[in-house]
């Protein structure tokens, strides 16, 4: 039987009515919700549908008939090609308004439980140059933006190399970045210095399809303390080429306080199982939140936005309502950043985390800050927090949980219900899974405070902190 040809549908003059999830906006057509990228409420557009279901559709704009009065001019020339930002065309105040609404909708729709009045979202003072960590990719296959595309032009090999970010939705194409506004200098200077040396010395870029080539990535940490870490990731163990590049990079950019390289011959970009090598410096950087210092290595996890991370932790500490007499359990503690931040107002901090390397970092960070009333344990909370553990370390007066985007495992939710600490502070990077978990916790807890925090301006991501109290 012959397959039916898929019909390409174009909706003409669709009015974009509101913001939607994942950086899209929405309009309505014949009773169907249509999600459209790169649009703002108030735009009138012709939309090409690339997904067309019974009750909803997704598309992208072909023609703008009217531009919304809410629009602003994107400040980055790569906006729309690079996937790093979704909302540069939206005024920051509007972004915050929608993020606040997004958190409320998720908790009400998915949580389905009584909620207090939400505190106003804490916006970023700096909505450019806010990231302390960034990774650039070097690749053979340059993404050609729509505005440059010419069917008559043949792209030569020399034009195909690129240094920047993966194009949105394309694993093998790299947007060639000239200036990135996500991280402060010397971020662009470092990338361009590597590019200059590579072109002058004919260093090859990595070909992700054939898994060959020298230059793969460079990971940068630029801290508010002024310390700068660069980790150059290469796909070949050619010591002479690596040494020449690093020597040049260090001589041209003395602001780099720690320079490392990592040889990665795997087919993926993960540094798991790989050991970065220190070329110069101490091998790590120091970042500060308030007066607390944190040692960050090339594989350490740390809040990506230092200034907003400080606000996030201040909210967490306020919601914990510490008096100096409490034992705080910090679940998913990572490198101990939240527990250490709370330690000055708590009697004792107990951190639990699955990843052993993170626990080693947490212990180092506690020692760095001269914190003696903190203990960190590697393993699963479900296994560790038993009666014997409580007899040794005490039961928690406050539990802080900061899970990944997927939220908490149902067994951990049950464990928290069993422990029944008077206060739980739930820090989330995904209000949808947070709403699901709050619904499960409502068996014993009520939500008493909610505070959204914008960690990533110009993106659709929102952090949210919730205080829960044990029902009387």
Q: Could you list the active site residues?
A: 429
Reading the block at residue 128, the tokens are 């450019």
**For 11-58, what is the HEC assignment?**
EEEEEEEEECHHHCEEEEECCEEEEECCCCCCCEEEEEEEEECCCEEE
Closest CA to 426 of 320, 277, 346, 337: 320
Beta strand 327-331 with 44-52: parallel, antiparallel or unpaired? unpaired
Closest CA to 291 of 272, 308, 310, 305: 310
Q: What Rg, from alpha-carbon coordinates, does the chain have?
A: 24
Q: How far apart are CA 222 and CA 229, in angstroms?
A: 7
How many CA atoms lie within 13 Å of 438's alpha carbon, on the beta-carbon side? 33
Reading the block at residue 221, the tokens are 């940490």
Beta strand 174-176 with 162-166: parallel, antiparallel or unpaired? antiparallel
Contact 271, 298 (CB under 8 A): yes
Q: At what angle do helices 187-200 and 239-252 cross, to 10 degrees?
A: 130
């Amino acid at each position: 039987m012959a397959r039916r040809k898929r019909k390409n549908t174009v909706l003409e003059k669709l009015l974009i009515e509101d913001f939607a999830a994942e950086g899209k906006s929405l309009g309505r057509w014949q009773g169907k919700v249509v999600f459209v990228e790169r649009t703002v409420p108030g735009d009138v557009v012709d939309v090409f549908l690339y997904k067309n279901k019974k009750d909803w559709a997704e598309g992208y704009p072909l023609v703008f008939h009217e531009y919304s009065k809410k629009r602003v001019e994107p400040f980055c020339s790569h906006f729309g090609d690079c996937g790093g930002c979704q909302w540069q065309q939206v005024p920051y105040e509007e972004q915050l308004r929608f993020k606040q609404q997004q958190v409320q909708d998720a908790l009400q729709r998915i949580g389905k439980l009584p909620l207090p009045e939400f505190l106003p979202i804490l916006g970023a003072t700096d909505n450019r140059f806010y990231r302390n960590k960034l990774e650039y990719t070097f690749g053979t296959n340059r993404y050609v933006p729509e505005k440059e595309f010419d069917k008559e032009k043949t792209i030569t090999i020399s034009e195909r190399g690129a240094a920047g970010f993966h194009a949105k939705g394309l694993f093998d194409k790299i947007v060639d970045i000239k200036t990135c506004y996500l991280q402060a200098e010397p971020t662009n200077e470092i990338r361009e210095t590597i590019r200059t040396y590579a072109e002058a010395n004919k260093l090859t870029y990595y070909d992700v399809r054939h898994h060959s080539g020298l230059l793969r990535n460079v990971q940068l940490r630029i801290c508010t303390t002024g310390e700068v870490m660069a980790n150059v990731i290469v796909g070949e163990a050619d010591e002479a080429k690596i040494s020449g590049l690093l020597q040049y990079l260090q001589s041209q950019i003395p602001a780099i306080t720690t320079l490392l390289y990592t040889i990665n011959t795997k087919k993926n970009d993960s540094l798991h199982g790989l050991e970065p090598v220190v070329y110069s410096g101490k091998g790590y950087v120091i970042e500060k939140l308030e007066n607390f210092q944190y040692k960050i290595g090339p594989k350490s996890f740390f809040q990506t936005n230092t200034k907003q991370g400080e606000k996030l932790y201040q909210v967490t500490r306020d919601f914990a309502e510490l008096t100096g007499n409490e034992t705080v359990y910090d679940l998913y503690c990572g490198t101990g950043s939240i527990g250490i931040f709370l330690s000055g107002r708590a009697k004792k901090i107990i951190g639990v985390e699955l990843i052993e390397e993170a626990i080693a970092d947490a212990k180092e960070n506690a020692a760095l800050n001269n914190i003696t009333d903190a203990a960190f344990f590697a393993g699963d909370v479900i296994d560790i927090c038993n009666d014997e553990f409580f007899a040794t370390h005490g039961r928690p007066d406050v539990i802080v949980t900061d899970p990944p985007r997927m939220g908490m495992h149902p067994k951990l939710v049950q464990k928290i219900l069993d422990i029944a600490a008077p206060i739980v502070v739930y820090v989330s990077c995904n209000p949808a899974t947070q709403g699901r978990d709050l619904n499960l916790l409502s068996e014993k807890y009520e939500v008493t405070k909610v505070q959204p925090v914008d960690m990533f301006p110009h993106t659709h991501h929102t952090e949210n902190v919730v205080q829960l109290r044990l029902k009387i």
